[in-house]
Structure 1
């Protein structure tokens, strides 16, 4: 073989090796960032910090926080939340308070503010077992929840019927409005039929309010609710390299998020045990359920806040905003609205100001955000 041929063969081998190396580099750069890479890279100080957070979706599932939906006391068959009414795009989150094991505030399930209530007069006390046996099979009237309460003979408090208790008075109720709309004539009539049948089974005499007045009250309440329902949300989009589910979970866990009830959902728990979570973080559930989630590429995640379900005292918007900024900085992302437009600090300030006005309006109607009444109305 001549010297020229040998030289050309060497050059060809070098070119081929260069192509292989370049392809390997491109493949490595395009792979999603994973929790293992984050924990193994960076300075010694960074590694020391990350070693305390070996979180993956599987690890976090052990600390799952279930969503708690509003119900009438302990009554079974309580309504599932309907699709949310529209509103704004927003952002926020501050330092995370530790979860406290405080009991939720106890209030009667039925409330004249948001329910039609019909007293059921009794000739004598009835047992909780008899009340439970007489309850209708379904606890809904059209699209509205239906409930029965008894006044305990021992405590005098209104409560959902329980076996072994005795009740000196009963009342039946149906919710005036929810996200499905106001109580209408047909639903009111169905409520009367259902409550009458229950009363007949116990020998009680119901006292129903006038239908026209209650339906008008339902429409007025629905009009207020429609103008003050708010769900805030924004997107966090990757600027460069995509993220794996484990990478997202690791950074979210540093801010106090834990695995939710559904794949691809994490939540920031409230300081009040039993209440709905403050914030939700969501990404593609298919990526979370993949055989090898670390090879799934995520280019965006969503943060959302159910404004009417979280008390103002939790500072949910502030916490959401700061959490978004922290995640964006740590994962090289950009905070945008649903249309992909970046959210400026000025836009977030305006959203925060509008939110304070919303809280004030809810407070003025005794429907403060996060209260049992507000959670039932906005469901």
Structure 2
């Protein structure tokens, strides 16, 4: 074999080796980022799994099962007078099978004869009066004439069953009040979201979960969703971080690529004292920095730091407006109205 032939062969081998190395580097560069596994192994110990999962559950707030008391601010209420106390068992038996009127929540409350407190009827108690109520507005819209008529029918049926005398408000007045409340709510409903997009390499679900956990997020009840708990005991989650559910449920999550996650805040649902936007802004900046991502809006436009400050100032005005209407963010009334 001539020297020229040997040289060509060596050159070809070098080119082939360079191509293989470049492809391997490109594959590693484009592969989804994996979570760090910090373990100390002794000889003979089994290898740890490559894709750890978070098995954390957000505690259910203490008041989550408690129904909000009817409030004339956001409910139309009909008093139901009785001549003699009625047992809680009789009241429960007389309740309608559904607790909705159209798309609006409907409730019957009794005034406990011993304590004087209004509450949902309970067995073993006696009630000196009742009241029926239906919510005036929600994110589904305002109470309309048909729903008001259904409310009257349900309340009247309960009143007949417990020998109560109902006193219904005037329909047109309540429907007008519902429309005004709905207009206010629609004009002051804010649901913010930022999208974190991978700048270069995609993220695996485990990497996302591990990164978010470092910034205080815990696993939610839905696959692909994490939440930032409230600082106040019993408070609802402040923020939600979500990504593709199918990626979260993938059989091989280590080889599943996620290129974007959504960080969201339902403003009226979270108390101002939790500083939700400050925590949202700080979480977005920290996650983008640690995961090599970009903060963008829903159109893919990059959001600058100065724009975040403008949003924060606008939210302070919104909080003031809600409080002036006796509907402070995070209150029971606000949570019901903006739901």
Match of 1:342 in 2: 302
Q: Is the 8 A contact 2:191 2:266 kept in 1?
A: yes
RMSD over aligned CA atoms reads 2.2
The counterpart of 1:58, out of the listed 36, 53, 58, is 53
Match of 2:201 in 1: 241
Q: Which has the higher contact order (CA 8 A, sep 6+)?
A: 1
Which whole-Å CA distance do the structure 2 matches of 1:299 and 1:67 have between them?
Answer: 32
Alignment of 1:298-309 (within 5 A): 298-309=258-269
The counterpart of 1:319, out of the listed 279, 287, 300, is 279
Which whole-Å CA distance do the structure 2 matches of 1:195 and 1:57 have between them?
Answer: 53
Report Cα offsets for 1:212-255 as digits up to 9, x if no partner. Answer: 11111111111111111000111111111111111111111111
Which whole-Å CA distance do the structure 1 matches of 2:299 and 2:62 have between them?
Answer: 30
Match of 1:30 in 2: 30
SS of equivalent residue, structure 2 residue 77: strand
SS of equivalent residue, structure 1 residue 275: coil
Segments of 5+ residues of structure 2 without an aligned counterpart are 40-48
Match of 1:364 in 2: 324
* Shift in CA distance, 129/55, structure 1 to aligned 2, threshold 3 Å: farther
After TM superposition, give the deviation of residue 203 of structure 1 in Å: 1.1
Match of 2:182 in 1: 222
Report Cα offsets for 1:152-175 as digits up to 9, x if no partner. Answer: 122111111111211111111000
Q: Is the 8 A contact 2:195 2:261 kept in 1?
A: yes
After TM superposition, give the deviation of residue 274 of structure 1 in Å: 3.8
TM-score in terms of structure 2 length: 0.91
Match of 1:289 in 2: 249
* Shift in CA distance, 198/253, structure 1 to aligned 2, threshold 3 Å: same
How many residues end up aligned between the 2 structures? 330
Which whole-Å CA distance do the structure 2 matches of 1:150 and 1:273 have between them?
Answer: 29
The counterpart of 2:230, out of the listed 270, 288, 294, is 270
The counterpart of 1:176, out of the listed 136, 143, 149, is 136
Which whole-Å CA distance do the structure 1 matches of 2:202 and 2:72 have between them?
Answer: 51
Which whole-Å CA distance do the structure 2 matches of 1:226 and 1:25 have between them?
Answer: 52
Which whole-Å CA distance do the structure 1 matches of 2:261 and 2:282 have between them?
Answer: 16
Match of 1:14 in 2: 14
Q: Is the 8 A contact 1:70 1:375 kept in 2?
A: no
TM-score in terms of structure 1 length: 0.82
Segments of 5+ residues of structure 1 without an aligned counterpart are 41-53, 75-107
Match of 1:87 in 2: none
SS of equivalent residue, structure 1 residue 122: strand
